[in-house]
Structure 1
């Protein structure tokens, strides 16, 4: 069973209310091999919403209370990100997920890269808050690129 970022499953839940459509993901959902969730929406954030980035540290620092997630205008949305991450973890545990497929670059879901907190579209290596929490609890987390590369190798 996969836990997939809802935006990758065609649901318009990104901060800008956009979504992505991937046939392979739609097939997994149709075969009941995947569930979807948006950690930011699970945490109570609206859609659309201001873009947010991790500031002052890593996702693990956010989870430890040492860094924050801020919007471009300086609003502190840290608690919503933490709450959403824990709700995503609970879903993964309840549904016995074997891997999460999360949206790269997201402050919640990024697996290999996130934006650097400068709001200048500069990326840095690192995971988002939900991805880091799932990794911390032993779940495999893949970016969509990693997932599709794995599918191509299997096909």
Structure 2
């Protein structure tokens, strides 16, 4: 119970310190930076099912972190699942869209049905994204929550198939563009060309194009 209390406290600390970063100041102008919803494990937090992180080691990711762009969340921990926890998969060869339509369930490898928790976690992530006006999300691929290009097939065999998890699907249904950690460069290019982003880096890029 003490370990679980510490985990909840850590998650609350993540919410307080990272969900509400202060915007950078610049004399004479207000900088508007597009925020990015990010899986907590990619930001180095040990919240995966096995108690590990899946840290994204990329120059752009480090830059976004330093700029205060990242809105960090673990849908599964936010929903109340412990860390570590049994691995869970969407059954069988189905997708996050099927789960949201109540046409598929999510079971862990003990047979426990954790569908409701995964949906609750997805809804929490969506609320966080909307509160921070996130247009983009960078999520850990393969997860039944955060997978965006592939997830595991539900047989706990290690096999995957092309589909998205519950959180990634719900975000997309609400107009948020979702990227996997293998697509950081693609996301960076998109932000650099986004006219709604007025960070110093984006303005410099756009000035070069105008020049």
TM-score tier after normalising by the smaller chain length: over 0.9
Specify the alignment match of 1:103 in structure 2. Answer: 140
Q: What does the per-residue CA deviation read over 1:73-108, in whole Å, with 9 as the maximum and x for residues that have no partner? A: 111110110000000000010000010000000000
**Higher Cα Rg, which structure:** 2
- Summarize the alignment of residues 20-99 of structure 1 with structure 2, pairs less than 5 Å apart: 20-21=54-55, 22-23=57-58, 24-56=60-92, 57-99=94-136
Instruction: Number of aligned residue pairs: give it.
Output: 155
Q: Write the deviation string for residues 53-84 of structure 1: whole angstroms up to 9, x where unpaired.
A: 00043211111111111001111110110000
* Offset of residue 127 of structure 1: 0.3
Q: Secondary structure of the residue that 2:183 maps to in structure 1?
A: helix
Aligned to 2:178: 141
State the 1:28 CA deviation.
Answer: 1.4
1:40: Cα distance to partner? 0.7
Question: Whose strand fraction is larger, Structure 1's or Structure 2's?
Answer: 1
Which segments of 5 or more consecutive residues in structure 1 lack a partner in the other structure?
none
| SS in structure 2 at match of 1:135 | helix
Aligned counterparts of 1:142 and 1:17: Cα–Cα separation in 2 = 23
Instruction: Choose from 126, 142, 153 the match for 2:163.
Output: 126
What TM-score does the superposition give when structure 1 sets the normalisation length? 0.93
SS of the residue corresponding to residue 72 of structure 2 reads strand
1:114 aligns with 2:186: no
Unmatched tracts of structure 2, length 5 or more: 1-34, 193-211
| Aligned counterpart in structure 1 of residue 52 of structure 2, from 14, 18, 24 | 18
